Amino acid sequence: MKLAFLLATIGLALILEAQAQPLGSLAQIAVIDRETGVALSPHYYRGEYWVAGRPGAKYSIEIHNRLGERLLAVTSVDGVNILSGETAAWDQAGYVFEPGERYQVTGWRKSDAQVAAFTFTESPNSYAERTGRPANVGVIGIALYRERQPQAWTQPRLSEERPTNRSDASGAPVAPAPLAAVPRAELAPKLGTGHGEREYSYVDHTEFARLQPQPNEVIRIRYDSLDNLLAMGVIRRERPLPPAADPFPATPAPGYVPDPPG
């Protein structure tokens, strides 16, 4: 009995630990509520991962390189490259992570020393919508590239070749199934990412040769408010529990189990 209980306890602990794990294989990705320091729990629904953001809260995108080599993370928020402000594409600039490095990306890059903080806000106040690009509000994307290592037998090159056209890539994520139709009137304003206050965040520049034109891994995380995710069925509202049952409703009389009536 003790062994069975121990195994059950270990199994439950492993399940809970797995549910708390960040997303991704080459790198672990998590969305962090900076005001609480808590990673937002991902909810898997119809082929996509969703997190519930708190309107007005600052957040960060934590990227943890799990490899023993450098890794490039081209990162977009609401369809916008967070470094350049361009409409996001795979072949744009990104952050380079050293082997095993963990870093929290906290905002839109304004210079080598400053960012404008990521904040959850109503869609009309999001940076993407304010710059005329509302179509992809509510999604975070990380395209991960492994580095091409130099070969001893090759001739030196003056410059690295640019990646080929993204339309030729074969590793594009499969389109997810559509969400259940929910009238927009039943939903609160869609959540987006605002262009928050300036913060200090220093970066340096480096060269990085991509192993291949298309990403080695693409991680996509959608987000909205908790109320909207409940309304869309992404998060299921807990059903009320039945009244509590008492396993010992009365003090047992001494003796053994009596026969039932009849």
CB 79 within 8 A of CB 160: no
Q: Is 1 contained in some domain?
A: no
CB 72 within 8 A of CB 210: yes
Q: Is 57 contained in some domain?
A: yes
The domain of 57 spans: 28-149+183-232
Per-residue pLDDT of 37-88, as tens digits, reads 999 999 999 999 999 999 999 999 999 999 999 999 999 999 999 999 999 9
Q: Is 178 contained in some domain?
A: no
Contacts (Cβ under 8 Å, ≥6 apart) of 99: 65, 67, 68, 69, 70
Distance CA 138, CA 225 (A): 10
DSSP class of 149: P
What would the two tokens of residue 34 be?
Answer: 């900076």
Q: Is 118 contained in some domain?
A: yes
pLDDT at 183 over 90: no
CB 201 within 8 A of CB 238: no
pLDDT at 9 over 60: no
φ/ψ (deg, to 5) at 64 = -125, 110
CA torsion sign for 90, 55, 198, 124 is positive
Q: Is 61 contained in some domain?
A: yes
Q: Is 3 contained in some domain?
A: no
Q: Is 176 contained in some domain?
A: no
Q: Is 245 contained in some domain?
A: no
State if pTM tops 0.75. Answer: no
> How many domains is the chain built from?
1
